[in-house]
Amino acid sequence: MLRFFSRRLLGAIVILLVISAVTFFLFYAIPRDPAMLACGKNCTPDALEVIRKNMGIDKPVPVQYWEFMSGIVTGRDFAQGSCPAPCFGYSFASSDPVWDTILDRFPTTVSLSLGGAVVFLTIGLGAGMIAAWKRGTLADKVFSTASLVLSSMQIYFVGPLVMALLVFNLGLLDQPKYVPLSEDPAGWFMGLLIPWMVIQIIFTANYTRLSRSSMIEQLAEDHVRTARAKGMSGKFVFFRYAWRGSLIPIVTIFGVDLGSLLGGAMITEWTFSLPGLGKLAVESVEQTDLPMVMGVMLFSATFIVLFNVLVDAAYAFIDPRVRLA
């Protein structure tokens, strides 16, 4: 178990290093000069030089990369002040510390993704299992068709429609907004209700189909028939024997989905103007804000890598044949 985690941790660090290098060097492939943007209309070559120096982009790219990466571990000193580890530098656009900005935006993303995940897991697995249980009946056909239609939907299409209906026409809810859970639990819930409902639509459909098909596959297993042959009830066999095995593909997909959601649900956050990591990522790319892009990128990638390790660990809990080594 310990060996498993230490080995996977090492692998994760390598992956993150590769991602950081690729992001960093790709950034300089963009034909846009962040210093030029910051310098404004009446820019003189001298002023530009000062800004370059302040931003730290006057040095060769590999040196910059080294300084940036070592700053994450040791912290760095800037003209704006010292930046303790983990230091991702200061935003080119807002001059705020990157790490603080990320920590500030993260709760929004966590609320959005975890809430959404609860909704799509519950509805998706539930509908999938009902469809598998009632295979071939009307209920199955309704769920299967609905999931096919819903999985072809897009958030930026459904989102505004739902808002138009619930907010502007019926006036049932306010416009989505993020209120910290600690400040106002009810406001937090009501503010995120529409984003949760919308974000789950595409996911629910996938989970419905996945859980249905893997349940049906499991129900055809020999050991499920054995369980029935020894007199266990249909329900017992369904939930104890078939369900357990059907979890493996679901856990796999869920780990990937949740990891990438926590790294920022860009489209959803953009659609509802929620100040999360996804929105931050899009903004910082638009503003050619290198430190922010790097920070968000590494932060998101960490979640994806982390959840991949967790998925592998989860296999061992579901299936005793899998041993972590």
Partner 1 sequence: MNTLTKEADVPAPRDAGASGAFLSVRDLYVHFDTEGGTVKAVDGLSFDLERGRTLGIVGESGSGKSVTNLSILGLHNPRKTAVSGEILLDGQELTGAREKTLESLRGNKMAMIFQDPLTALSPYYTVGRQISEPYRKHTGASKREAHLRAIEMLDKVGIPNAKLRVNDYPHQFSGGMRQRAMIAMALVCNPDLLIADEPTTALDVTVQAQILDLLKDLQQEFGSAIIFITHDLGVIANVADDILVMYGGRAVERGSVKEVLRQPRHPYTWGLLTSMPRLTGDVNEELVPIKGTPPSLLAPPPGCPFNPRCEYVNHVAGDHSCTADRPVLPPGRGAACHLTAEQKQTFFTEQIKPRLG
Chain residues in the site for partner 1 (CB under 8 A): 136, 221-234, 240-241, 244-245, 318-321
Kindly state the smallest distance separating residue 229's Cβ from partner 1, in Å.
Answer: 5
Q: Tell me whether residue 53 or residue 225 sits nearer to partner 1 (CB atom).
A: 225
Which residue from 57, 62, 64 is spatially nearest to 39, judged by alpha carbons? Answer: 57
Q: Tell me whether residue 70 or residue 233 sits nearer to partner 1 (CB atom).
A: 233
Kindly state the smallest distance separating residue 236's Cβ from partner 1, in Å.
Answer: 8
Kindly state the smallest distance separating residue 19's Cβ from partner 1, in Å.
Answer: 36
Structure tokens at 278: 């996804």
Kindly state the smallest distance separating residue 317's Cβ from partner 1, in Å.
Answer: 11
**Which residue bears the tokens 């030089």?**
49
Residue 134 burial by CB count (10 A; 0-12/13-18/19+): exposed, middle or buried?
middle
Residue 218 burial by CB count (10 A; 0-12/13-18/19+): exposed, middle or buried?
buried
Kindly state the smallest distance separating residue 190's Cβ from partner 1, in Å.
Answer: 41
Q: Tell me whether residue 69 or residue 324 sits nearer to partner 1 (CB atom).
A: 324
Q: Tell me whether residue 134 or residue 177 sits nearer to partner 1 (CB atom).
A: 134
Using the CB atoms, write b or e for 189-210: b if 16+ within 10 Å. ebbbbbbbbbbbbbbbbbbbbb
- Please state the separation of Cα 41 from the chain's center in Å: 38
Residues 6+ apart with CB under 8 A from 287: 37, 92, 93
Q: Tell me whether residue 60 or residue 320 sits nearer to partner 1 (CB atom).
A: 320
Using the CB atoms, write b or e for 253-280: b if 16+ within 10 Å. ebbebbbbbbbbbbbbbbbbebbbbbbb
* d(C-alpha 68, C-alpha 298), whole Å: 12
Rg (CA), the chain: 24
Cα atoms found within 13 Å of the Cα of residue 190, Cβ hemisphere only: 11
Kindly state the smallest distance separating residue 321's Cβ from partner 1, in Å.
Answer: 5
* d(C-alpha 202, C-alpha 268), whole Å: 11
Kindly state the smallest distance separating residue 185's Cβ from partner 1, in Å.
Answer: 38
Q: Tell me whether residue 154 or residue 233 sits nearer to partner 1 (CB atom).
A: 233
Q: Tell me whether residue 115 or residue 245 sits nearer to partner 1 (CB atom).
A: 245
H-type alpha helices, the chain: 2-27, 34-39, 45-55, 61-74, 98-133, 138-151, 155-163, 185-219, 222-229, 234-236, 243-262, 266-271, 277-286, 290-318
Q: Tell me whether residue 77 or residue 319 sits nearer to partner 1 (CB atom).
A: 319
Kindly state the smallest distance separating residue 130's Cβ from partner 1, in Å.
Answer: 17
Q: Tell me whether residue 27 or residue 241 sits nearer to partner 1 (CB atom).
A: 241
Kindly state the smallest distance separating residue 133's Cβ from partner 1, in Å.
Answer: 13
